[in-house]
Amino acid sequence: MDKIKVALVDEHPIMCDGIQSLLSDANDIQVVHSCRTTTELIQLLYHEPVHVVITIFYTPDPENVEQIRHLCNKHSKAKVLVLSMYRIENFIFKMIKAGAKGHLTSDTNRNEMVEAIYTLRNGYDFYAKTITNLILRNYLNDDKEIEARQEREKSLSAREIEVLKLFARSYTNKEIADRLFISVRTVESHKNNIMRKINLKTTVDMVKFAIKNNIVELDY
């Protein structure tokens, strides 16, 4: 069986040495690159690609997200496993959206890291339990918010639904007024009522809500 090739990225060489030592007794895992920057690694991967890249981040710096995105764009076959020293939801989700396929935290151990490497190599995502809980909580919160808005949608009148559909189709206040034979002021009144009932803040939110809840379909 071919070995799983791994690359390590950290500005502190001693950290790469430590991880390499942890993985040394895994006979089917081989660390082939140890770099201080993703820029350096990207060049090396053109000559010797790897299956998994482990990169370590100490602070929630937006530049880290861009590094992940750049690396994934240049070498999409290399699965990125992030080891972070923080648990800030916003940055974790940004890392995932940027292309990271796995995320471990500072309390990870050797067995979990090896499992993550195997999992990514087999084509699946892997997140530490703490990260999984964050993702699940975020998903449930989003789901609950959608359900709550759908309940509030039931309080909309037939006329308000008409106005919402037209806003979602990018009609202006004047166009809606002309189409429904009402005044612009009445359109504004309907709009305010819709936003209040569904708990939305902007017209863009109204459009998103209408599309997500199949109140209107996009024309392609």
Please write the tens of the pLDDT for every residue from 37-91: 999 999 999 999 999 999 999 988 889 999 999 999 999 999 999 999 887 777 8
Out of 80-84, 163-167, 197-201, pick the least confident: 197-201
pTM for the whole structure = 0.62
Q: Where in the chain is the domain with CATH 1.10.10.10?
A: 155-212
The CATH H-level superfamily of 4-135 is Response regulator (3.40.50.2300)
pLDDT in tens, 11-37: 999 999 999 999 998 989 999 999 999
Exposure of 216 by Cβ count < 10 A (0-12 exposed, 13-18 middle, 19+ buried)?
Answer: middle
Q: Where in the chain is the domain with CATH 3.40.50.2300?
A: 4-135
DSSP reduced 3-state for 81: strand
Residue 54: predicted pLDDT? 96
What CATH number was assigned to the domain covering residues 155-212?
Answer: 1.10.10.10
